[in-house]
Homo-oligomer: A and B are copies of this chain.
Amino acid sequence: MALKARVLYDFSSENPGEISITESELVTLFSEEELDGWLEGENSRGEAGLFPASYVEVIRDHITSNTNNNGFSPCKTKALPPTQTSFTSSDSQSQRGGSGGGSFHTSQGSDDDWDDDWDDPSSPATSAAPQGLGSSPPLYPVTTSLPARRSGSQQHQHQQQQAKSSATVGRNLNRFSTFVKSGGEAFLLGEASAFVKDGDRICVVMGKHGPEWQEDPYPFTCTIDDPTKQTKFKGMKSYMSYGLTPTHTNIQVNRRYKHFDWLYARLVERFPVISVPRLPEKQATGRFEEDFISKRRKGLIWWMNHMTSHPVLARCDVFQHFLTCGADEKAWKMGKRKAERDDLVGANFFLTISPPAVPLDLQEVESKVEGFKSFTKRMDENTVVVNATINEFARKQITGFKKEYQKVGQSFKLLAQAFELDQQAYSVGLNRAISYTGETYEAIGEYFAEQPRQDLDPISDLLDLYRGHLDNFPDIVHVQKGALTKVKDCPKQDGDLHDRCNIISCATLAEIQHFHRTRVRDFRSQMQHHLRQQIGFFQKITAKLEDALQRYDDDE
């Protein structure tokens, strides 16, 4: 019997050898074995080729369906060592990554390129993240010539680091399933091992609404000042520097965008089931223009707020290093190297999790995770609509609304000009008042044009942040589902396997819980901000009109 899979997300073929697949479609798999994150099969239109493994869900009605399984047989068969497949295969991508390595920046490159301009178009992380439009499928392994992120990890070849490597190969740029590359599989199969200090321990506690990250006993926030333009090499190069002041030290440190970028890469590899929001977009040209700088700063503030309010992210060493290390170059490099050599990344991250005493009901976990999957899908779809609508609304206010009010203003001024041809004394007051009303309408037009910056752009910024989360969650959910599938497929009860699956589930649900909490908090405060701004806006218009109205009393 042919192995089937159900398509979870639309995928459009972009390269030779790939086929397009459509959500809900049933595809026939030629083999259950993934090839660097891709599966080969045939779609319902009879086209045969590759598609991203994370875009489909294999249908496992029969235990016998596992007979075809090489790389994914549960429990007993060990997964293919990912680094082996990834870096010794004849895969064109890894070759490209290797051959092009010299000209690409990598977030874990040597310190020598540390001072290169942050906005080099080939710099990693944010530029490498394609954005979905309209739905939230997981990012799939690219086959284009984007720089191979983390190709530097080729140097770590010793077997002992295998589990870690599988995780530290950036989330989206090799051809492994998320479950494998996150380290979830390695941990579940008991392959992770590292020394966990007490300080590294992350507690998941049972809260009123399910597992949650233990709260940070010392919460803090961090302000980001307007960036200042810095130059080096006698003015040959320039860059923007942000002053960050965390409340728990109250000492300002200066960071460039590329430092954020480096931090982001560390966090992504460090926390496989935590959604690290992506950084605000880069922009290759005009990066010193006021609008862009202001927009990026706002994006970084949102990002920072999420970071400091996340109990796990806020406390982690690399983030603390980023926030607190001063101008001492040596101290900075030490912390940097320590972070890059951190053992507790990928699979080992799960070793740091202390779950609540009572294990979760895995059935319940599955249902919760399924519910969350539907939720994120809908939220992703609808926020696309909201974002498009408010951006269009902003555009209309800046152009159309402004123009209409100004046209009315100008026509009132024309009326006043006509009336001024009558030099009767009793007409003068009215003429002035009408002219003033014209100016008032012109001013109201300006108000409309200025307003979106105050109350629509922030919503748009918030939606951007959350769309970043929504892009992350399919991978996070995939790790949990991978673990659950493995446990279910295991013919006999394996206590350790269950325990480890429980840990993954606890961490996943805690992160989901945290997502909901911050979502409710952020959207509440943002909607309140929006409405307060709108109220202020209409009050300002009202006051302006009242002022104009008074002018008509002057000569009566």
Q: Which residues of A contact B (CB under 8 A)?
A: 209, 371-372, 374-375, 378-379, 381-383, 385-386, 389-390, 392-393, 396, 400-401, 404, 407-408, 410-412, 414-415, 417-419, 421-427, 430, 433-434, 437, 516-517, 519-520, 523-524, 527-528, 531-532, 534-535, 538-539, 541-542, 545-546, 548-549, 552, 556
- Which single residue of chain B is at the shortest CB-CB distance from A546? B535
Whether A414 pairs with B382 at a CB distance below 8 angstroms is yes
Partner of A378, one of B411, B421, B425: B421
Whether B542 pairs with A528 at a CB distance below 8 angstroms is no
Partner of A527, one of B209, B383, B427, B552: B552
Which 9 residue pairs of A and B lie closest in terms of their CB atoms, listed nearest first?
A: A389-B411, A382-B418, A531-B549, A379-B418, A382-B414, A386-B411, A375-B421, A378-B418, A538-B542
If A527-B433, A535-B549 touch, whether A404 touches B393 (CB-CB below 8 Å) is yes
Nearest Cβ in chain B — how far from A119, in angstroms? 33
- Which single residue of chain B is at the shortest CB-CB distance from A540? B538
Whether A527 pairs with B434 at a CB distance below 8 angstroms is yes
CA distance A487 to B518 in the complex (A): 90
Whether A411 pairs with B390 at a CB distance below 8 angstroms is yes
22 contacts between A and B (CB under 8 A): A209-B425, A371-B423, A375-B418, A381-B418, A382-B415, A382-B417, A382-B418, A383-B415, A383-B418, A385-B411, A389-B411, A390-B408, A392-B404, A392-B407, A393-B404, A396-B404, A424-B520, A426-B517, A430-B523, A430-B524, A434-B523, A437-B531
Whether A393 pairs with B379 at a CB distance below 8 angstroms is no
Q: Which of chain B's residues have a CB closer than 8 A to the CB of A385?
A: 411, 414
- Which single residue of chain B is at the shortest CB-CB distance from A408? B393
CA distance A437 to B386 in the complex (A): 13
Whether A386 pairs with B404 at a CB distance below 8 angstroms is no
Q: Which of chain B's residues have a CB closer than 8 A to the CB of A542?
A: 535, 538-539, 542
Nearest Cβ in chain B — how far from A235, in angstroms? 47
- Which single residue of chain B is at the shortest CB-CB distance from A523? B430
Q: Which of chain B's residues have a CB closer than 8 A to the CB of A401?
A: 401
If A433-B527, A434-B527, A549-B535 touch, whether A386 touches B371 (CB-CB below 8 Å) is no
Q: Which of chain B's residues have a CB closer than 8 A to the CB of A415?
A: 382-383, 386, 523
Nearest Cβ in chain B — how far from A532, in angstroms? 7
Whether B418 pairs with A389 at a CB distance below 8 angstroms is no
If A404-B393, A424-B209 touch, whether A437 touches B527 (CB-CB below 8 Å) is yes
